[in-house]
């Protein structure tokens, strides 16, 4: 397959992944599966995707793994962020692919390489995605059981995939960010509605103003050491099932 044909196929695949993903995690899972398929048609290569959004927000997708449970990148992929170092993070920081020909002879990241060897990994290829969006970074890592498992042709194909996948990933991350903001906004509006309802109930029970009702709710919140919304919820819930009645 020519590079142009590969690009056309990958663009089509990425568009389908975006359309069919429920959230960012789902998209990353598909990304890892597609990435492994691009360079491997025999089911020998495992793949994981690491996305970093800010200093502490990290998402790992173990993705595709032909290795046995408990001895595969599916479990091992979690170790890289914990060590705050390794081929993936090194590739992310340098902006260039990192290739570990032989895990057993690699003298960088000794503790991490020991974990990789115990997981049955012989060689690792990590390729960064150039998303160029502030604190967002992503890297695709490939794993082989045998050492020297990645050729120059494989590196070229993986680099092509990373280049094409970067924009769809950026779009998926922005969609996910907007979805989270919408969810937070909805939660805030629901919280405010509950508090307003509770204040109305307190006003009716105590024949007081809204300001006085809010002060009563705040004092209850402080005295019980619980959130204001939870205090309000406790007042509203018992009445939530009551039917509203209007006299003729």
What percent of the chain lies above the pLDDT cut of 70? 79
**Cα four-point dihedral sign 180, 127, 145, 107:** negative
Cβ–Cβ under 8 Å, residues 7 and 160 = yes
Closest CA to 39 of 68, 1, 88, 71: 1
State which H helix or E strand residue 170 sits in.
helix 152-206
Q: Which residue has the tokens 């991490």?
A: 112
Average pLDDT, the chain: 78
Report helix, strand or coil for 128. strand
Length of the chain: 248
Report helix, strand or coil for 40. coil
- Read off the tokens for 28: 């990353």
Q: How confident is the model at residue 134 (pLDDT cuts 50, 70, 90)?
A: low
**C-beta atoms surrounding 193 within 10 Å:** 12
Give pLDDT, residue 240. 65
pLDDT in tens, 110-121: 888 888 888 788
Q: How confident is the model at residue 28 (pLDDT cuts 50, 70, 90)?
A: confident
Q: For residue 116, is it left (φ>0), alpha (ψ between -120 and 50) or beta?
A: alpha
In this predicted structure, the answer to whether residue 246 has a pLDDT above a threshold of 50 is no
Map out the domains of the chain with their CATH numbers. Answer: 3-179 (3.30.450.40), 181-238 (1.10.10.10)
What percent of the chain lies above the pLDDT cut of 90? 6
Cβ–Cβ under 8 Å, residues 103 and 123 = yes
Residue 84 CA: distances (Å) to CA of 50, 53, 88, 244: 12, 14, 10, 58
> For residues 137 and 156, which has the higher predicted lDDT (pLDDT)?
156
pLDDT in tens, 63-113: 555 554 444 454 555 555 566 778 888 888 888 999 999 998 988 888 888
Q: How confident is the model at residue 137 (pLDDT cuts 50, 70, 90)?
A: confident
**C-beta atoms surrounding 63 within 10 Å:** 23
- Read off the tokens for 92: 């992310």
> For residues 3 and 72, which has the higher predicted lDDT (pLDDT)?
3
> For residues 3 and 185, which has the higher predicted lDDT (pLDDT)?
185
pLDDT in tens, 167-198: 888 888 888 878 878 878 887 888 888 888 88
In this predicted structure, the answer to whether residue 127 has a pLDDT above a threshold of 80 is yes
- Read off the tokens for 82: 């914990």
Give pLDDT, residue 95. 87
Measured between alpha carbons, how far is 34 from 14 in angstroms, rounded to an integer? 9
Q: Give the gyration radius of the chain's Cα atoms.
A: 26
Measured between alpha carbons, how far is 56 from 240 in angstroms, rounded to an integer? 40
- Read off the tokens for 93: 């920081």
Give pLDDT, residue 109. 86
Beta bridge partners of 141: 48, 126
Report helix, strand or coil for 204. helix
Give pLDDT, residue 245. 35
């Amino acid at each position: 397959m020519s590079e142009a044909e590969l690009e056309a196929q990958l663009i089509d695949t990425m568009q389908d992944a975006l359309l069919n993903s429920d959230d960012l995690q789902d998209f990353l899972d598909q990304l890892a599966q597609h990435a492994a398929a691009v360079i491997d048609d025999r089911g020998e290569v495992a793949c994981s995707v690491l996305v970093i959004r800010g200093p502490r927000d990290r998402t790992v997708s173990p993705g595709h793994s032909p290795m046995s449970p408990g001895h595969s990148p599916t479990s091992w992929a979690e170790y890289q962020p914990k060590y705050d170092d390794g081929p993936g993070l090194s590739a992310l920081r340098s902006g260039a692919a990192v290739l570990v020909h032989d895990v057993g002879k690699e003298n960088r990241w000794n503790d991490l390489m020991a974990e990789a060897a115990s997981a049955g990994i012989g060689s690792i290829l990590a390729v960064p995605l150039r998303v160029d969006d502030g604190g967002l970074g992503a890297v695709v890592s490939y794993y082989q059981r045998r050492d020297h498992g990645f050729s120059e042709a494989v590196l070229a194909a993986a680099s092509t995939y990373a280049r094409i996948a970067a924009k769809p990933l950026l779009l998926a991350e922005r969609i996910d960010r907007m979805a989270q903001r919408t969810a937070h906004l909805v939660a805030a509006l629901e919280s405010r509605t509950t508090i307003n309802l509770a204040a109305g109930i307190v006003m009716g029970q105590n024949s007081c103003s809204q300001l006085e009702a809010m002060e009563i709710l705040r004092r209850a919140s402080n005295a019980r050491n619980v959130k204001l919304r939870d205090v309000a919820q406790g007042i509203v819930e018992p009445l939530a099932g009551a039917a509203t009645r209007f006299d003729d």
